[in-house]
Structure 1
Amino acid sequence: MKKIINILTATRAEYGLLKPIIVKLNKISEFDIRIVVTGAHLSSEFGLTYQEIEKDGFIIDEKIEILLSSDSTASISKSMGLAMISFADYFKKLAPDLLIVLGDRYETLAVVTTAMNQRIPIAHLYGGETTEGAIDESIRHAITKLSYLHFTSTEEYRKRVIQLGEHPDRVYNVGGIGIENVLNEKLLTKKQLEDSLGIDLSKPYGVVTFHPVTLENNSSEIQISSLLEVCKEYKDMNFIITKANADAEGRIINQLIDQYEQKNENIYAFTSLGLTKYLSALKYAKLVIGNSSSGLLEAPSFNIPTINIGDRQKGRLQGDSVINCEPNKDSIRSAIEVSFTEQFMNQAKEAVNPYGDENTSDKVVDIIKEYILNDKINLKKKFYDWKVD
């Protein structure tokens, strides 16, 4: 009988990182791969991005709707409750041998809590990272403690997962899949990208992504307004903006982006670009601006400057192509001007991405095969005590 490997995805970014793993797991005859889709993937407001999964030729096992049309912290908790109720039924029916999750989303925490209760082993990608400005920080570490197998993107993060009490034998530094996608995804030519987006790319442009800083109260409107005000000042540039995700205050950000797009000819907004168009946009961009992890993980592989705004990614490992700034107009403007200097452009061209190499998905799949096909999982985990001086 085939082993059922269940893969969870709730957002566009998460799916883009999981895609190479899904492709390779599907080639293993002993596995029955089941993709379950939830969260923003199923919302028209956030682009119905589950369609990208189907366009890639994958079969979605089930679509589970949990997202409420609200921007409040209370609605996040209610969505988590819906996720637990719905996934309890799904897991009872499917009884997977392993659940694979990635990242630090609130939906993921609800789902892995449900899986833990139903004694389903969990493999977690990208624990051990720190993002001090976002609630994701707490969620990520909580998911780590609920998981059995751990795949980290750097050795520093591997040590941090072990510090949380996970045995070193189950914690693997595999590198970042973002780099693998940059190196292996067939990207569009500049003309193809231009035609696809409907934008004249003869002018230099920046790629912008800004998400709520979820550990700050009511800061989103002020911060995104500051960023957009600076963008509109650079009339000799275009700005391609991918909208915020389904976090508290995400809708406030997206409404303001729409307003600025209507009033400014150099601002272009997209609900979602999808993996290929997004990476293609990075390839030809002059710089990346915002507070998305992609500015730290993927953008450095294109050797372009990243302007990292505010505290959302604070504490996360970053390369020499990244400039950090405060979320106000003066600081953002100054950072952009630094990125335009010949000295910093040369620095970005020479910078090394600190998140590994192009073999991440192979490492992940090989380890999963070893554990699942040899029945090596024992859910009675012992806490691994880290020696403290």
Structure 2
Amino acid sequence: MLRRPLSFEDKRLVSPPPSRLSLLTLILALLPPHHLHFKSNCIPTQPNTNIAIAIAASIIGKMASDNLRTLVVTGTRADWSKLQPVCRAFIRVLGKIDVFITGMHLEEAYGYTANLVRQLEGVDQFHMHKNQTLGPHQTEVMEETIKGLAKVLRDRKITDVVVHGDRVEACTAAMVARQHGIRLHHIEGGELSGSIDESYRHAVTAFTTYSYVCSASAKDLVVKNLGQHPQTVFNIGSPEMDAHARDYGVSLNDVKRKYGIPFAGEYGIVSFHSVTSELDGMHEQAAYLFATLEEYGKNFIVIMPNNDPGTDAIRDIIGKILEGKRSDRFFQSANIDFEHFSVLQKNASVFIGNSSAGVREMPFHGVGSINVGSRQNNRVPDIPAIINAPANDAAALLRALKSFWGKKFARDKTFGDGTAEEKLVGALKTPGHFDRSVQKSFYLPG
């Protein structure tokens, strides 16, 4: 005989199955009084077991979500292009986040890009902390970052910290989070490169609770070589590819007018940063590179170097070129909005330098890239769109420019296909994702 389902309007007192009585009692005890509603003509009786469990699960889940407070740490114009989709994913899952803004974002020389970060919607609080001046020593940056970040973690009762990549701010945030017993989420770990960046990146992985990598090889490295458990590693691709895959509805001429770029025809992009393990040679390397660009005789958009030790030597060379009689062929910029820079990248005739943009973003756009020197060692994929050139060989640099200028290639998806945000949302929704202990046990593959 079919039995009529019970509801809150039932006037009969019905006991649940004995096996579920203790569970139901516990759940009902956890329910706030305002969640037990009865109609005025009803006798307060035992509500339907399944309904009670569903209500309790929803409330407990909401309470758990309310107790989570995630802080995203950003220190450069470059990492923010990757962290924007990451922030949106966390906001979609948790409802709100905090953002800690520091580093180059707060430097006028780099366009004070903190204003761009503050445009993100869904942020509960932005925390601004100046941790450096131009050309700082990295230990000073670490010291100032610790001071500002530790206070925010305590005051805001942060439960989860998100960092990107391999900068000093990311490494510092990882250590501070671990000292405070906070879960760490690392974006784009497991890559190989040159300079001190690689040491920073792998050090962050040592503190990481969850690693969101951008390639299959990076996933293998963090699991097999760095002790990250496979269940905590998610290959989502590089989040910046999401932005590059979008159509912003902005034309190349619109971008040129906005920034005053004077070139009517073809142009290349050059981005050359300091290699902190080769400081004594940075002036010479920059001199070789920019002298070669002068000799080549084409137009170039010059992206100013990051604020790292050794940057003064590169800036000195760039300054001398811009003061020279051929300066009309070089346009200098410390900061271009990401969506506008993406348009410039798509339409460039070539990219040259030692930025990760040349290794990851330009091949995604199908534009040839000349990787100069050692800064991206071991990160460069073996693909037709990239050619390597030594930093102190002007003849080799010139040959590379002549062979790659104007060449177009098929889109390369080694570092992602433009769906990182959706993949990250899926990872964050994995049952128990925000319950994992911060106590890390290193995984040793059998």
Shared fold by TM > 0.5? yes
> Matches of 1:199 and 1:271 in 2, distance apart?
13
Aligned residue runs from structure 1 range 93-108, under 5 A: 93-108=155-170
- 1:156 alignment counterpart: 217
> Matches of 1:56 and 1:34 in 2, distance apart?
11
- 2:426 alignment counterpart: 366
Q: Does 1:356 align with 2:416?
A: yes
Aligned residue runs from structure 1 range 1-389, under 5 A: 1=63, 2=66, 3-28=68-93, 30-56=94-120, 61-71=126-136, 75-132=137-194, 134-162=195-223, 163-184=225-246, 186=248, 188-235=250-297, 237-263=298-324, 264-318=327-381, 319-328=383-392, 329-340=394-405, 345=407, 348-350=408-410, 352-370=412-430, 375-387=434-446
> Matches of 1:4 and 1:20 in 2, distance apart?
18
Identity of aligned residues (%): 25
> Matches of 1:317 and 1:291 in 2, distance apart?
11
> Matches of 1:330 and 1:338 in 2, distance apart?
12
2:95–2:122 Cα contact (<8 Å) kept: no
Letter in 1 for 2:355: S
Q: Cα gap change, 1:53/1:187 in structure 2, threshold over 3 Å: closer, same or farther? A: farther
2:163–2:173 Cα contact (<8 Å) kept: no
> Matches of 2:112 and 2:152 in 1, distance apart?
21
Q: Which has the larger radius of gyration?
A: 2
Alpha-carbon deviations, 1:228-276, whole Å to 9, x = none?
Answer: 11112233x2100111111111233223323312322101110111211
2:77–2:105 Cα contact (<8 Å) kept: yes
Letter in 2 for 1:270: S
Q: Cα gap change, 1:271/1:58 in structure 2, threshold over 3 Å: closer, same or farther? A: farther
1:320–1:352 Cα contact (<8 Å) kept: no
Q: Cα gap change, 1:167/1:61 in structure 2, threshold over 3 Å: closer, same or farther? A: same
> Matches of 2:190 and 2:77 in 1, distance apart?
22
Q: Cα gap change, 1:45/1:202 in structure 2, threshold over 3 Å: closer, same or farther? A: closer
State the 1:386 CA deviation: 2.9
State the 1:306 CA deviation: 0.1
2:296–2:398 Cα contact (<8 Å) kept: no
Q: Cα gap change, 1:380/1:23 in structure 2, threshold over 3 Å: closer, same or farther? A: closer
| DSSP 3-state at the match of 2:163 | strand
> Matches of 1:223 and 1:313 in 2, distance apart?
15
> Matches of 1:358 and 1:379 in 2, distance apart?
30
> Matches of 1:64 and 1:23 in 2, distance apart?
22
State the 1:197 CA deviation: 2.1
1:95–1:120 Cα contact (<8 Å) kept: no
> Matches of 1:381 and 1:27 in 2, distance apart?
27
Structure 2 unaligned segments of length 5 or more: list them.
1-62
> Matches of 2:161 and 2:362 in 1, distance apart?
29
> Matches of 1:156 and 1:27 in 2, distance apart?
28
> Matches of 1:33 and 1:187 in 2, distance apart?
29
1:295–1:308 Cα contact (<8 Å) kept: yes
Structure 1 unaligned segments of length 5 or more: list them.
none
1:242–1:269 Cα contact (<8 Å) kept: yes
Flag the structure with more relative contact order, 1 or 2, with Cα contacts below 8 A and sequence separation at least 6: 1
State the 1:320 CA deviation: 1.9
> Matches of 1:106 and 1:97 in 2, distance apart?
22
Alpha-carbon deviations, 1:121-140, whole Å to 9, x = none?
Answer: 000011110112x1001010
State the 1:57 CA deviation: 5.1
1:244–1:251 Cα contact (<8 Å) kept: no
Q: Cα gap change, 1:351/1:33 in structure 2, threshold over 3 Å: closer, same or farther? A: closer
User: 349-358 vs 237-246, which deviates more?
Assistant: 349-358
State the 1:54 CA deviation: 2.6
| DSSP 3-state at the match of 1:349 | coil
> Matches of 2:189 and 2:86 in 1, distance apart?
17
2:131–2:141 Cα contact (<8 Å) kept: yes
> Matches of 2:244 and 2:370 in 1, distance apart?
19
> Matches of 2:276 and 2:250 in 1, distance apart?
34
Alpha-carbon deviations, 1:293-312, whole Å to 9, x = none?
Answer: 01111111211110100010
Alpha-carbon deviations, 1:313-344, whole Å to 9, x = none?
Answer: 01004232001000122221111112138xxx
Q: TM-score, normalised by structure 2?
A: 0.80
Letter in 1 for 2:131: I
Letter in 1 for 2:444: D
State the 1:160 CA deviation: 0.4
Q: TM-score, normalised by structure 1?
A: 0.91
Count the aligned residue pairs: 375
2:70–2:159 Cα contact (<8 Å) kept: yes
